[in-house]
Structure 1
Amino acid sequence: MDIATIVGLVVAIGLMLMAIIQGGPLGIFINIPSALIVGGGTIGVGLVHYPLSDIMGAAAIAKKTLFNKDESPHALIIQLMEFANKARKEGILSLQGMMDSVEDEFLVKAMQMAVDGQEPETLRSMLNTEVEYLQERHEKGQAIFVSLAGYAPAMGMVGTLIGLVQMLMNMSDPDSIGPAMAVALLTTLYGAVLANVFFAPIAGKLANRSASETLIKNLVIEGMQSILSGENPRIMEQKLHAFIAPKLRESTFK
């Protein structure tokens, strides 16, 4: 579970609620028609933009902001170096017996390709293709939330304009102007909150997740190609260290 996401939401929502409660009752910020215009309108416009299956899958995609197991690049490099040393001493077929201890399906696939005798460049090409399509899927998920982040404030403005028109139609009743204006502005508030507290941050978090996952897969590709090529483990380690920050680089050779 991503603690940063939870803490961020709690802080953002908590501070807004604190400001609301200090200025008056919470109930005045609750308006069902405004919520329907913004929430329902945003989803409706999203359905115009994307297929139903994509919108339905957006909730599952959003779960990755809360539930995601980040792999350590440093731990992966150590694991790859173990495979390199074993393959150098006992041959590439010795990796067959180590697959059961590997949890990463992408790494298992790369190891199987190496054991099956794929050429290094063929292995890199096939795995790179898989990573490219993975990135496309990730970008599609991010794009959904980026779009929703744009539609929510727009629907909030539409709701505000509707409220203003209704208010102007009742200018003869001064007592109704204040409440009507408040309701009109609530739709703008709802749109801004949905866009800037939920949709845009989710898109940003998904982009970070995608970058981390892509880094891990690129490490696997580089490492397995080096192992399959019979490269010197020290040179292989230097190549893999180029993918991570200097402060995270720790040589396995003492």
Structure 2
Amino acid sequence: MQNFDKISLFGIIIAVAAIVGGQVLEGGHISSLLQITAFLIVIGGTVGAVMLQSSPSTFMTGLRLAKWIFVPPPYHPHHQLKLIIDWSQASRKGGLLALEAQISGQKDPFIQKGLQMLVDGAEPEALRHALELDINTYEEHTRRSAKVWEAAGGYAPTIGILGAVMGLIHVMENLSDPSKLGAGIAVAFVATIYGVGSANLLFLPIANKLKAHIENQVALKEMMIDGLIAIANGENPRLVESKLAGYIV
């Protein structure tokens, strides 16, 4: 079972609690931060702008990657190192064909492909080229999808300012009716809070965390390539372990 990333949850709770707590300590009311009009302007405008710049597949993948904030993808370099060493020892004893039984037990298509090519006797350079192409495709697609959140972090503050200007326009249009001035001013200031707050407390942190997870996944794949190439070259398992240990921090 995948681990739940508690620090992400705590981070969101602390950020929200700090803002709301500061508002209360200053004598303000929490309800004054709850403006549905400002929310619709900022979040709706940001989502629309991000959708405009993204392809449908990139946008949807970006949304799906959001689950990594709380349930990150598996990252077990020590386990993978042990797996590669076991394969290296098995191939030294029984040849590359001894690894054929390991293919069906792998859930990762990338590992399955690498093992299958290894068992089929692919040349090391051909093996590396094929798997590196897969890595490049994976990295490009996931990074582009993670930038959906980065783009949201860029648009939200500007759209928050747009909401503020709209609120002030509403105020100017109703100077003769003091009862409507409060709502317009509230939308103006709260829209700015929503724009800057959502960008710096949500969208940009999410983008950066997704990039970190992508880097970890790419490192695992690169580690697997080096391991499979070492096995294909018949290197001593101890040397393989020493070489791949550099991937583990």
**TM-score normalized with structure 1 length:** 0.89
- Of 2, 7, 26 in structure 1, the residue corresponding to residue 5 of structure 2 is 2
- Of 221, 225, 229 in structure 1, the residue corresponding to residue 229 of structure 2 is 225
Letter in 1 for 2:210: L
Q: Secondary structure in 1 aligned to 2:74?
A: coil
Q: Secondary structure in 2 aligned to 1:231?
A: coil
| In structure 2, distance between residues paired with 1:39 and 1:173 | 29
Q: How many residues align?
A: 245
Paired position in structure 2 for 1:109: 113
Q: Tell me, yes or no, if structure 1 residue 20 matches structure 2 residue 23.
A: yes
In 1, are the aligned partners of 2:84 and 2:227 still within 8 Å (CA)? yes
- Of 151, 168, 173 in structure 1, the residue corresponding to residue 172 of structure 2 is 168
Q: Tell me, yes or no, if structure 1 residue 202 matches structure 2 residue 172.
A: no
Q: Secondary structure in 1 aligned to 2:132?
A: helix
Paired position in structure 2 for 1:130: 134
Matches within 5 A, 1:39-188: 39-172=43-176, 177=181, 179-188=183-192
| In structure 2, distance between residues paired with 1:149 and 1:124 | 37
Paired position in structure 2 for 1:249: none
In 1, are the aligned partners of 2:164 and 2:188 still within 8 Å (CA)? yes
| In structure 1, distance between residues paired with 2:61 and 2:230 | 38
| In structure 2, distance between residues paired with 1:174 and 1:92 | 83
> How well do the aligned residues superpose, as a CA RMSD in angstroms?
1.9
Q: Secondary structure in 2 aligned to 1:242?
A: helix
Letter in 2 for 1:3: K
**Per-residue CA distance 1:35-65 (angstroms, 9 max, x = gap):** 1111111112122212344334432121122
CA shift, 1:244, in A, is 2.6
Moved more, 161-170 or 106-115: 161-170
- Percentage of identical aligned residues: 32
Q: Tell me, yes or no, if structure 1 residue 189 matches structure 2 residue 218.
A: no
Residues 222 and 57 of structure 1: CA distance in aligned 2, closer, same or farther (over 3 Å): closer
Residues 86 and 135 of structure 1: CA distance in aligned 2, closer, same or farther (over 3 Å): same
Q: Secondary structure in 1 aligned to 2:248?
A: coil
Structure 1, unmatched stretches of 5+, are: 246-254
Residues 50 and 170 of structure 1: CA distance in aligned 2, closer, same or farther (over 3 Å): same
**Per-residue CA distance 1:174-221 (angstroms, 9 max, x = gap):** 665555323211100011121112110110011001000001000100
Moved more, 8-17 or 205-214: 8-17
Structure 2, unmatched stretches of 5+, are: none
Q: Secondary structure in 2 aligned to 1:68?
A: coil
Q: Tell me, yes or no, if structure 1 residue 239 matches structure 2 residue 243.
A: yes
Paired position in structure 1 for 2:215: 211
Moved more, 180-189 or 124-133: 180-189
**Per-residue CA distance 1:91-132 (angstroms, 9 max, x = gap):** 110011223443433222211111111111110100000000
